[in-house]
Amino acid sequence: MTFAKALVLTTMIAHYQSEGAIDLPEVETPPVRQVGVASWYGRGNWHGDMTANGERFDPRAWTCAHRELPFNTVVLVENRQTGRRAWCRVNDRGPYAIRHRDGSWRISTQMKGSGKWQGVLDLSPAVARRLDMKQAGLQRVRLRYWTPETTSTFNLAVLDP
């Protein structure tokens, strides 16, 4: 060990012993905005297909589909059963499953008749894996995100492709 490394290590130990706890900045968690069921796209069958915002679907990317949120909104998704969380970015529209009062369901881009949208989010396989929901396929989740109307001290850098 070099003298410089030993000096830094000694200084760090002395600092921790004298100060006690380290002052860490608080991490701001977005408020809960939506609760519902999330699904995932499947085994990458749509790899390379165009998403609603014009980019190519990549099953390894941390992306998701939501019917209403603006594209590039970053969402914190929490698996309500396990508590696992993952950040993902909205780049597509969906899910589009509708369940009717009689119990039947179908896929549609428009709500017709007496139906109810099923699911709040479609996740990429990468996000589904992180949330530990690939076996179940469907999972109850909480979505947390900031809307343009809310103020936040948290700055999240999102790189443009």
Domain count, the chain: 1
Answer yes or no: is 79 within a domain: yes
> 132: domain range?
32-144
Q: Is the pLDDT of residue 98 over 70?
A: no
Show the beta-strand stretches assigned E in 18-73. Answer: 32-40, 63-65
Residue 112 domain-assigned (yes or no): yes
Separation of alpha carbons 118 and 14, rounded Å: 57
Alpha carbon 137 to chain centroid, angstroms? 16
Residue 10 lies in a domain: no
Confidence band for 161, pLDDT divided at 50, 70 and 90: very low
Cα 29 from chain centroid?
13
pLDDT digits (tens, 9 = 90+) for 11-65: 666 555 555 555 666 667 788 889 988 988 766 567 788 889 999 999 999 999 9
Q: If you write DSSP's letter for every residue of 94-121 in order, what string do you get? A: ---EEEETTS-EEE-SS--SSEEEE-SE
Residue 160: the pLDDT is 45
Backbone angles phi, psi at 115, to 5 degrees: -115, 175
* Residue 43 falls inside a structural domain: yes
CA 148, 141, 150 angle in degrees (round to 5)?
15
Residue 130 covered by a domain: yes
- Identify whether 152 is part of a domain: no
Would you place residue 96 in the very low, low, confident or very high pLDDT band (cuts 50, 70, 90)? confident
Question: Is 2 domain-assigned?
Answer: no
CA distance 40 to 20: 45
Would the pTM count as exceeding 0.75?
no
Task: Evaluate the CA torsion angle 43, 32, 34, 147 in order and state its sign.
Answer: negative
**What's the pLDDT at 28?**
73
Domain CATH for 138? 2.40.40.10
